[in-house]
Amino acid sequence: MTQLETFGAGSSGAARGDDAQETRWLSIVGLGEDGLDGLSPLARALIGEAEFVFGGARHLDLAGAALAGEARAWPSPFEQGVEQVVALRGRKVCVLASGDPFLHGVGAVLARHVPRHEMRTLPAPSAFSLAAARLGWPLADTTCLTVHGRSLDLVRAHLHPGRRLLVLTSDGAGPGEIAALLAATGFGGSRLHVLEALGGPRERVRAAQAEAFDLGEVDPLNLVGIEVEAGKGARVIPRAPGLPDAYFENDGQLTKRAIRAVTLSALAPRRGEVLWDIGAGSGSIGIEWMLADPSLRAIAIEERPERAARVRRNAAALGVPGLEVIEGAAPAALEGLPPPDAIFVGGGAGDRGVLETALIALRCGGRLVVNSVTLETEALLIAEHAVRGGELMRLAVSRAEPVGGLTGWRAAMPVMQWSWVKP
């Protein structure tokens, strides 16, 4: 297969050969900090032949000598730029991007709007690849994150002793903010590598310990390499379900550790799925659902404002700040939410309207799990089980506690759990 045929290959009978050349109106070219010097002849030709070239101000400046068509800086909001590109379909358009356009880049956005057989992409090394090369870290064994325009709390879930992280930041203040986060959470002994403007004439690599971070005048284009070291009292977030109850700020409305582990097992998270956590309380189920895999999404529905605020704090503290919180009472608060792949009902299960709404909303093959501690709700779940099937369990947990000068078992309230898979 020729290079032309490779770029032109598309799905379901996409054009090839000369026809492919005509249909590929959009080019996406990845740039490094070395600008045109780091581009192949083909990449330079695509820029020079384009009638319109889109990019950030920095990209357009780096490619300036090769521009022959109209240069257009990305507008704000970003979506307007995507609309402008799509509106030029059939004209020769080139979009400039940083490094690999499909790694947290514009390529992934444009691919949602432009068929792949209508575009070709020439990536440059990503910032992560350059950083790994400078530090000598195998990418396959390194966790790569971006907090560019996102919460720094995303780092928390990945702070495991001995791990190496590469974190793409938003600006020059990012490395210092990461250092402060590590120092405040018991990881102050971690070693930070600040890698600035990689691949260009301003490239610089410096290192400091998190708790003694003193690097000033950091270039806005930077990554931070973290060699994680956990000190005494550091909160290391385990990968298994059933985090310690003490990890969650709560007012007593908390699915306890043992019950939570069984509940997450029944919910059975799968990559890319959406969970509704109805009656979220402290948010523990939605938080642990999201911790199972970065692709998972959860929506916590909580009627009480003070609890909703607590859910947000818990989510940030446990490294999943993207947990969506809806303040309101079910079932009304469920209207318009994305269809769920799994639903947990921990509060409000006694309201038949909540359960009926959940049963209707759940996708086929989705899992519903309802926990109950009251006889009234148990009666409702027994009736549903009789009609729909699924699995009923009664979970009773006792813990050893002091009894006088000795030790005895103290039982928690038993929990009935109904789990069901929608056919």
Is omega for the bond preceding 305 within 30 degrees of 0, making it cis?
no
Angle at 98 (CA atoms; ends 222, 178), nearest 5 degrees: 25
Q: Residue 42 in contact with residue 110, Cβ under 8 Å?
A: no
pLDDT tens, residue by residue, 32-77: 999 999 999 999 999 999 999 999 999 999 999 999 999 999 999 9
The per-residue pLDDT for 21 is 54
Q: Residue 58 in contact with residue 48, Cβ under 8 Å?
A: no
- Amino acid identity, position 390: G
Q: Residue 55 in contact with residue 73, Cβ under 8 Å?
A: yes
| CATH number for the segment(s) 3-124 | 3.40.1010.10
pLDDT tens, residue by residue, 280-295: 999 999 999 999 999 9
The per-residue pLDDT for 351 is 79
Between CA 121 and CA 160 the distance in angstroms is 36
Residue with tokens 């109209």, as numbered in its chain = 70
Between CA 159 and CA 183 the distance in angstroms is 12
DSSP-assigned letter for residue 371: E
Please name every residue paired with 298 in a beta bridge, in sequence order, or none if there are none. Answer: 275
The per-residue pLDDT for 22 is 59
Please name every residue paired with 247 in a beta bridge, in sequence order, or none if there are none. Answer: none
Between CA 38 and CA 46 the distance in angstroms is 14
The per-residue pLDDT for 4 is 33
Provide the residue ranges of all domains of the chain, joining segments of one domain with +.
3-124, 128-227, 245-421
What homologous superfamily does CATH list for 128-227?
Tetrapyrrole methylase, C-terminal domain (3.30.950.10)
The alpha carbon torsion through 105, 107, 108, 114 (nearest 10 deg) reads: 160
Question: Is CATH 3.40.50.150 the right assignment for the domain spanning 245-421?
Answer: yes
Q: Which residues of the chain have pLDDT under 50?
A: 1-20
CATH topology identical between 3-124 and 245-421: no
